[in-house]
């Protein structure tokens, strides 16, 4: 204990990390008895150095923020040749640590984590602050199911000088695995850059890998600028279409094609969680419980969002009428009655009707980049991405994929009973007029946030 440094008003209990520029300690504020984290300039760094100015700059940025999804600043102290921040102590784990253990998260937990971060970013962006380094190492999950965005050492604020270098001495570039195309090109920071990074993080939480490869891969720069990420459906075939579209829109190359604010992204994630019938905090607790790190929530995480009523008297009457018609008109009335009864119970099929499934179907899965409307045998099925397979009778089928800015793609498939065919198609989206080079990219598919 004697080897630990002292900080005015705090009793240090443990050294957490030590780098060439800063050192991190756990401590208790006296006489409050409050647990805190100390982020201090290393004793070898003189207070006139750019690193000392960067630490003070981080304190000024955090001093403007007060949000449950952002780490809190209690104090900034300059005492002689020493500088330190007194930060909120977070009882939990970094998301990077948890990904080492879990590799990926459940879809509700991934959406919930991203939702909390979007709300924290919206708070920062409203005050002119762009984080610029949203990645798992800078996200903490608490034992109570909370999510905190940390480390604003490279955050930008046009009212303050640019940070000269990361305080850990690793250089001024955020992690390449989560960097936006404009960050790679060295363009000025933009709040929508944070949304790209958050989309890359959400992709990793679902797929178990980053969308453009590891940050130490030199080719990642070219992929970030020029290539779409692999479709999430390849790694998570049961992913809800609403959530997949959220990720797609975040990862658009052009900032104008992404969500235009963190508030907008947060609303889309709230809608996705509502579609799954999930409480965000319970979803995080469920994920931590699965890792043996928290008590499982007492209420189920996934609940039925809308409890459908039983059949009404009108529906029962319709059933009786349907059978009477069936007796007189043959089996052709079955589908008509099924559509009527399904609609009455709020169970439409993909095109607003209840389809009859063949007795021995084959299945078609469709992945289209960036998105497409899927028409099978002249019937519109849905707009990608969607997780479910299309059940079809064995035989020949004609598939058409349509996008308003791309030529129609046509495929003919021969399907056997029990067989599953995957169509993975890249739509040849035309460049919008007036754009060229890397900036000419298709706009995102509209996000379906309907209940």
Closest CA to 386 of 358, 363, 353: 363
Contact 176, 184 (CB under 8 A): yes
The CA distances from residue 110 to 172, 242, 253, 296, 354, in Å, are 28, 13, 22, 17, 31
Write out the two tokens for 382: 């849905």
Contact 37, 56 (CB under 8 A): no
Contact 451, 305 (CB under 8 A): yes
From the candidates 75, 81, 91, 133, give the one annotated as an active-site residue. Answer: 133
Write out the two tokens for 366: 């469709």
Q: Are strands 406-415 and 420-426 parallel, antiparallel or unpaired?
A: unpaired
SS3 per residue for 260-290: CCHHHHHHHHHHHHHHHCECHHHHHHHHHHH
Write out the two tokens for 113: 């984590």
CA–CA separation, 57 vs 52, rounded Å? 9
CA–CA separation, 384 vs 248, rounded Å? 11
Q: Is 133 a catalytic residue?
A: yes
Burial 286-314 (b: 16+ CB within 10 A, else e): bbbbeeebbeebeeebeeeeeeeeeeeee
Handedness of CA 156, 162, 165, 167 (dihedral sign): negative
186: left (phi over 0), alpha (psi -120 to 50) or beta: left
CA–CA separation, 216 vs 236, rounded Å? 25
Give the residues across from 420 on adjacent strands.
363
Contact 137, 94 (CB under 8 A): yes
Contacts of 310 (CB under 8 A, 6+ apart): none
Contact 371, 445 (CB under 8 A): yes
**Chain-centroid distance, C-alpha 84:** 33
The CA distances from residue 145 to 273, 283, 381, in Å, are 16, 8, 39
Contacts of 96 (CB under 8 A, 6+ apart): 135, 136, 137, 139
Catalytic residues, by residue number, are 133
């Amino acid at each position: 204990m004697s080897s630990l440094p002292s900080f005015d008003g705090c009793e240090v209990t443990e050294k957490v990390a030590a780098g060439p520029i800063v050192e991190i300690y756990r401590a208790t504020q006296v006489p409050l008895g409050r647990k805190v984290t100390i982020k201090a300039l290393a004793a070898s760094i003189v207070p006139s150095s750019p690193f000392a100015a960067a630490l003070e700059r981080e304190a000024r940025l955090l001093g403007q923020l007060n949000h449950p999804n952002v780490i809190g600043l209690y104090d900034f102290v300059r005492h002689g040749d020493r500088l330190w921040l007194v930060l909120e102590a977070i009882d939990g784990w970094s998301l990077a640590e948890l990904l080492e253990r879990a590799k990926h998260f459940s879809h509700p937990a991934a959406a919930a984590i991203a939702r909390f971060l979007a709300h924290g970013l919206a708070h920062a962006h409203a005050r002119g602050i762009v984080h610029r380094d949203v990645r798992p190492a800078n996200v903490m999950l608490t034992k109570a199911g909370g999510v905190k965005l940390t480390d604003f050492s490279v955050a930008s604020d046009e009212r303050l000088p640019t940070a000269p270098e990361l305080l850990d001495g690793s250089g001024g570039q955020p992690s390449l695995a989560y960097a936006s195309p404009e960050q790679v090109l060295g363009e000025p920071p933009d709040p929508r850059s944070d949304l790209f990074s958050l989309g890359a993080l959400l992709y990793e939480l679902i797929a178990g890998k980053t969308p453009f490869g590891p940050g130490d891969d030199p080719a990642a720069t070219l992929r970030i600028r020029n290539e779409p990420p692999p479709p999430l459906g390849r790694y998570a075939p049961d992913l809800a279409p609403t959530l997949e579209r959220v990720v797609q829109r975040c990862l658009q190359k052009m900032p104008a094609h992404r969500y235009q604010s963190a508030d907008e992204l947060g609303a889309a994630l709230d809608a996705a969680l509502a579609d799954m019938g999930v409480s965000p905090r319970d979803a995080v607790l469920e994920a931590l419980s699965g890792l043996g790190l928290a008590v499982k929530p007492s209420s189920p995480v996934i609940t039925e969002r809308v409890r459908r009523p039983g059949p009404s008297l009108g529906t029962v009457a319709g059933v009786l009428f349907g059978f009477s018609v069936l007796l007189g008109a043959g089996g052709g009335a079955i589908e008509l009655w099924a559509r009527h009864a399904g609609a009455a119970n709020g169970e439409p099929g993909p095109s607003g009707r209840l389809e009859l499934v063949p007795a021995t179907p084959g299945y078609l899965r469709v992945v289209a980049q960036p998105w497409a409307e899927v028409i099978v045998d002249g019937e519109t099925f849905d707009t990608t991405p969607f997780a479910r397979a299309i059940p079809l009778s064995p035989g020949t089928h004609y598939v058409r994929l349509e996008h308003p800015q791309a030529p129609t793609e046509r495929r003919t498939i021969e399907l056997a009973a029990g067989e599953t065919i995957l169509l993975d198609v890249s739509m040849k989206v035309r460049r919008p007029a007036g754009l060229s080079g890397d900036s000419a990219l298709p706009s995102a598919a509209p996000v379906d946030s309907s209940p």
